[in-house]
A and B are shown apart, each in its own frame.
Chain A
Amino acid sequence: AQTVTQSQPEMSVQEAETVTLSCTYDTSENNYYLFWYKQPPSRQMILVIRQEAYKQQNATENRFSVNFQKAAKSFSLKISDSQLGDTAMYFCALPIRGGSEKLVFGKGTKLTVNP
């Protein structure tokens, strides 16, 4: 079964600094997608970034980028120039099978950006 592990239950960072959230996973698939979702306090969960496993280039969305290491089954999220609005729960997710639309989520990392 696919598993997703987020080893940092809570993290904090100063505004304008860079922070990296870790995610490791286990899968027997060769081609799959990986996702990072963000859930701000009392607001809806939204997609931050997604990576397709066959693409070697790491995905980037503005201040958000990933470090995808397929062999190590690692998918960390880097947030540059952290802003107060980045305070949120962050969830890493992986399809339960390569072609599935159902996701398995990690337990989340609570990130606090301090002024």
Chain B
Amino acid sequence: DVKVTQSSRYLVKRTGEKVFLECVQDMDHENMFWYRQDPGLGLRLIYFSYDVKMKEKGDIPEGYSVSREKKERFSLILESASTNQTSMYLCASSFGGRGNEQFFGPGTRLTVL
């Protein structure tokens, strides 16, 4: 079975802190994604990576950066956390190519105080 894991289920941080969210997949997928999920807004793509060290901005990249140094690991970084970044963060991965299923992690619920 494909497994996508995220470093924390719940995280509480203070405004201004630097926050790292880690995602690891074990199926040698080329693609990895970070989404933000908010009630009534669905899922919105923050960043997409299609290979090691390669990334593309999604719909809402402001305030976020990403790092993909190894194929299996994709990190989301909040350089200076703000209260409006309180949300559920979902990581996903997939094989390259059209129409491939995305496999999701369990999510990290981040609260910024």
List residues of chain A with CB under 8 Å of any chain B CB: 9, 33, 35, 37, 43-47, 50, 52, 91, 95, 98-108
Q: Could you tell me if A101 and B100 are in contact, using CB atoms closer than 8 angstroms?
A: yes
Q: How far is the CA of A103 from the CA of B106 in the complex (A)?
A: 19
List residues of chain B with CB under 8 Å of any chain A CB: 4, 31, 33, 40-45, 48, 50, 56, 58-59, 90, 92, 94, 96-102, 104-107
Q: How far is the CA of A98 from the CA of B97 in the complex (A)?
A: 11
CB neighbours of B107 from chain A (8 A): 44
Counting residue pairs across A and B whose Cβ atoms lie within 8 Å, the total is 52
Q: Could you tell me if A9 and B94 are in contact, using CB atoms closer than 8 angstroms?
A: no
Q: Could you tell me if B43 and A105 are in contact, using CB atoms closer than 8 angstroms?
A: yes
Q: Could you tell me if A106 and B42 are in contact, using CB atoms closer than 8 angstroms?
A: yes
Q: How far is the CA of A84 from the CA of B31 in the complex (A)?
A: 33
CB neighbours of B59 from chain A (8 A): 104
The residue in chain A whose Cβ has the minimal distance to the Cβ of B6 is A44
CB neighbours of B56 from chain A (8 A): 102
Q: How far is the CA of A75 from the CA of B69 in the complex (A)?
A: 38
Which of A44, A46, A50, A106 is close to B99, meaning CB atoms less than 8 Å apart? A50
Shortest distance in angstroms between A98's beta carbon and chain B's nearest beta carbon? 8
Q: Could you tell me if B90 and A102 are in contact, using CB atoms closer than 8 angstroms?
A: no
Q: Could you tell me if A102 and B99 are in contact, using CB atoms closer than 8 angstroms?
A: no
Shortest distance in angstroms between A1's beta carbon and chain B's nearest beta carbon? 10
Q: Could you write out 18 A-B pairs with CB less than 8 Å apart?
A: A33-B98, A33-B99, A35-B101, A43-B106, A44-B4, A44-B106, A45-B104, A46-B104, A91-B42, A95-B98, A101-B31, A101-B48, A101-B97, A102-B56, A103-B102, A104-B45, A105-B42, A108-B42
CB neighbours of B4 from chain A (8 A): 44
